[in-house]
Amino acid sequence: MDNDIKERIKYLVDLLNKANIEYYINDNPTLTDNEFDSLLDELIKLENKYPKYKLDNSPTSKVGTSVISEFQKVEHPTPMFSLSDVFNEEEVRSFGKRVEKEISNPEFVCELKMDGLAVSLIYKNGKFVSAATRGDGRVGEDITNNVKTIKMLPLTLKEDIDLEVRGEIYMEYSVFEKLNEERERDGLQLFQNPRNAAAGSIRQLDSSITKSRNLSMLLYHLPNTNLSTHYETLELLKRVGLPTNPNTKLCKNIDEVLEYINYWSIHRPELEYPIDGIVIKVNDIASQRILGSTAKYPRWAIAYKFPAEEVVTRLDDIVCTVGRTGQITPNAVLEPVKVAGSTIRRATLHNAKYIEEKDLRIGDFVVIRKAGDVIPEVVRPVIERRENVTSYIMIDRCPICETRLVYSASKIDLICPNVNCPARNVNSLIHFAERDAMNIDGLGEKMMEDFYNMGFIKDITDIYKLKSRREEIIELEGYGNKSVDNLENSIENSKNNSLERLLNGLGISGIGLKTARVLARKYESIDNIINASLEELESIKDIGHILALNIREYFDNENNLKLINELKELGINMNYLGQKVIQDENFTNKKFVITGTISFMSRDEIKALIESRGGEAIDSVSKKTNVVIVGENPGSKYDKALKLNIEIWDEEKFKSLI
């Protein structure tokens, strides 16, 4: 009897922990809310009655549990400031002059600006107590359990002191590359850069996932100290056993600061971790207090941001790919080279005109530029090093189906006109499953290509018939019962997507998620769109004549109607499930720009929310922008908004208005 109870408790703990992971991390609920609640209730009752059988990893225990439902908000004892950015020597010098106006002969400490996410740690009596993200600077999120998994974190200091200490959590390049290789293999979306990977890893609800991500951490700031210089605070941190960056320098004047900047601009590629600039701090803490701070930034420190990084590598070849609409894109095949934190092997060359204008030839040494998250670009050939090169002649037949190519309406791009071209088909399928479309997690590019080549998925409807191939898939290398279960669940879940995702997924020319949302919201069901006249469609703001023609052309095509009917029969939702536009004076008819990370909502969710209240989310800040929503680590859009005096909403304000 006792054994039965023990078994049952273990079973429930495993089941509920697994369900939590699926729900919170994989976005893939495996139990209904009712099932979850009643199983949890059963577990709580059993644990209360038989406390000796309660397991350490039970989802009912808060401390030590590997899965928590969400991060607690915590107020920072001292607010966490961000830094204002400068981009060139002149701006660094004018910072020096501003300081010198109030402080005579200031000394500066120069540090590498780690490209990760800011963290605040609390130690009491030499013992680690808690860790929090920056959040909006005043309130962050409690990430204590996850920070505990970072190997560089000492749980006990060498001295019994109380500290509130700030630093950066980041991911080394080698860890980042390995992680992305694994994700590629598993068909998961790749992280754009080590910073995103670090941020994504620290915001895991399961600490064991954070642990497996091998994060690093360095500390660089004590907001409250009795010591007289910043340099001494760094020495204190080191002395008590906290990890600090050894590449820090005390500079006597701005010329020495500029020397440091120049040194690291050249030697940056030798580092094993990403940095995006240099932080310059006034050393004397009494002087820091005199200089004070603005609402957001200290006046005693700035961040010098590196310009986009450029490297030279060889253009080994130019190969063309075929997009889902048949568009032919020439791509540079490059001798692999590291730029701004990632290894670049390919870069788009857009079209034949681009190759011609830049005078790129196969065998050329070329300059590659990449800044932060931006896609790498081929800037120019290094003419001085040109020898043994061959001119590229643009292809005139599809590299996949060999159909003769035609020019697009722009007369610049070439198109494969064959609607049955395998490359077009597979790319359409990949697009259908993508995050912004039907969001079928696990059915990534590589898997879709494999399934297409094996004949498992020939068209969209086959995705929803994949269950019948279960045995065949399990036999393939790398697919176990569990991964096939996950895949089947994601496919099943995608049937309940709101209409706009399906509309985007269908690949109607020119219709992305944003326009799809406009259509879905207006017409509410696919049948209403099918029956909408050209005149009606083109009268919709954001649609216009060309898109209206594309929509009509798509729905006038018998094959497309057949596809939609089959999808209906397979149980795919064809209705809009979101809210109708509600009037809200804070949003309606206003243009919004979002910069930085908002902790409680993704970009897409914020955009959807803005649109659901009659506002518009746009990409760049101009005088026409009404509001800039500023999250953690904002980009240059924030500075531009300040310059143009545009209304700013921080996370708190945004939250209060929604």
* Residues whose CB falls within 8 Å of the CB of residue 421, separated by 6 or more in sequence, listed in order: 322, 326, 398, 400, 401, 403
Show the tokens assigned to 188. 């998961």
Distances (CA, A) of 8 to 14, 245, 279: 10, 50, 56
Which residues in 166-198 are b (16+ Cβ under 10 Å) and which e? bbbbbbbbebbbebbeeeeeebeeebbbbbbbb
Q: In terms of CB distance, is 166 or 607 closer to ligand IVH?
A: 166
CB of 168 to ligand IVH, least distance (A): 5
**If you search the block for the tokens 């907001």, which residue do you land on?**
223
Q: In terms of CB distance, is 136 or 500 closer to ligand IVH?
A: 136
Helix (H), strand (E) at residue 250: strand 249-251
What SS3 string covers 270-320? HCCCCEEEEEEEECEHHHHHHHCECCCCECCEEEEECCCEEEEEEEEEEEE
Q: In terms of CB distance, is 293 or 493 closer to ligand IVH?
A: 293
Q: How far apart are CA 634 and CA 480, in angstroms?
A: 42
CB 180 within 8 A of CB 191: yes
CB of 306 to ligand IVH, least distance (A): 13
Phi and psi, residue 333, nearest 5°:
-95, 115
Q: Kindly list the strands in the beta sheet with 249-251, ordered across the sheet, starting from the edge strand earlier in the chain.
A: 85-86, 301-305, 275-282, 108-114, 249-251
CB of 112 to ligand IVH, least distance (A): 6
Looking from the CA of 408 toward its CB, the CA atoms found within 13 Å total 14
Q: What is the CA radius of gyration of the chain?
A: 28
Q: In terms of CB distance, is 229 or 418 closer to ligand IVH?
A: 229
CB of 615 to ligand IVH, least distance (A): 28
Q: How far apart are CA 69 and CA 239, in angstroms?
A: 37
Task: Give the DSSP letter string of 458-506.
Answer: SSHHHHTTGGGGHHHHHTSTT--HHHHHHHHHHHHHHTT--HHHHHHHT
Q: How far apart are CA 563 and CA 458, in angstroms?
A: 13
| Total residue count of the chain as it appears in this document | 658
Q: Is 77 exposed, middle or buried (0-12, 13-18, 19+ CB in 10 A)?
A: exposed
Q: How far apart are CA 172 and CA 179, in angstroms?
A: 11
**If you search the block for the tokens 């690949």, which residue do you land on?**
507
Q: How far apart are CA 609 and CA 604, in angstroms?
A: 9
Q: In terms of CB distance, is 134 or 517 closer to ligand IVH?
A: 134
Q: How far apart are CA 340 and CA 309, in angstroms?
A: 6
CB 370 within 8 A of CB 377: yes
**How far, rounded to the nearest angstrom, does the alpha carbon of residue 411 sit from its chain's CA centroid?**
35
Q: In terms of CB distance, is 114 or 630 closer to ligand IVH?
A: 114
Q: Which residue is nearest to ligand IVH (CB)?
A: 118
CB of 70 to ligand IVH, least distance (A): 23
CB of 131 to ligand IVH, least distance (A): 14
Show the tokens assigned to 345. 């092997």
CB of 530 to ligand IVH, least distance (A): 50
Of the candidates 176, 166, 180, 276, the residue with the CA atom closest to the CA atom of residue 230: 166
Q: In terms of CB distance, is 120 or 427 closer to ligand IVH?
A: 120
CB of 97 to ligand IVH, least distance (A): 21
Residues that are catalytic: 113
Q: In terms of CB distance, is 279 or 460 closer to ligand IVH?
A: 279
CB of 252 to ligand IVH, least distance (A): 19
Assign 574 to helix, strand or coil: coil
Return left, alpha or beta for 234; rule: phi > 0 is left, psi -120 to 50 is alpha, else beta: alpha
Assign 217 to helix, strand or coil: strand
Q: In terms of CB distance, is 293 or 525 closer to ligand IVH?
A: 293
| Residues in touch with ligand IVH (CB under 6 A) | 81-83, 111, 113-114, 118, 168, 220-221, 279, 298, 301, 303
Assign 571 to helix, strand or coil: coil
What do you get for the CA distance between the two ends of the chain, in Å?
53
Q: In terms of CB distance, is 26 or 293 closer to ligand IVH?
A: 293
CB of 297 to ligand IVH, least distance (A): 8
Q: In terms of CB distance, is 109 or 463 closer to ligand IVH?
A: 109
Q: How far apart are CA 278 and CA 112, in angstroms?
A: 5
CB 58 within 8 A of CB 65: yes
Q: In terms of CB distance, is 272 or 471 closer to ligand IVH?
A: 272
